[in-house]
Amino acid sequence: MANNFDEKSLTISNASLTDIYTASNKSMVVTGTLANTGSVSINVTLKKYDASGTATFTKFKEVPVPVGSALTIPKIVLNTSDKIQAQSSSSSGLLDVSLELLTDIS
């Protein structure tokens, strides 16, 4: 199976934990951003859901992101059915999540 590059972007406009990407095969988040595009400062949480162990691991927890600022997401390895999830602390804050992915890793 060949390695493929992909991109996944989503805007979160509520305070719910939101699935950003679910791996269909072994994949890697090469890099990504969590950007505050709203008009208020927000706190951001980023999690990885491990489907094999049905456990969630926190990568960032309630990190402050001022208006117009962004956090860089590090490399994260995902196995089949693992998820990347993000959450904003504000129901009115806009959080843009962008992931650069390497998929179908063999």
Domain ranges of the chain: 4-103
Q: What angle do CA 93, 35, 57 make, to 5 degrees?
A: 90
Confidence of residue 22 (pLDDT cuts 50, 70, 90): very high
Quick one: CA dihedral 37, 39, 41, 46, positive or negative?
negative
Q: What angle do CA 98, 65, 90 make, to 5 degrees?
A: 90
What's the whole-model pTM score? 0.93
pLDDT tens digits, residue range 36-81? 999 999 999 999 999 999 999 999 999 999 999 999 999 999 999 9
The H or E element containing residue 66 is none
Quick one: CA dihedral 53, 104, 19, 31, positive or negative?
positive
- What is the CATH class of 4-103? mainly beta
Nearest residue to 95 (alpha-carbon basis) of 20, 4, 3: 20
* 3-class SS of residue 33: strand
- What's the rounded Cα separation, in Å, for the pair 83 and 17? 12
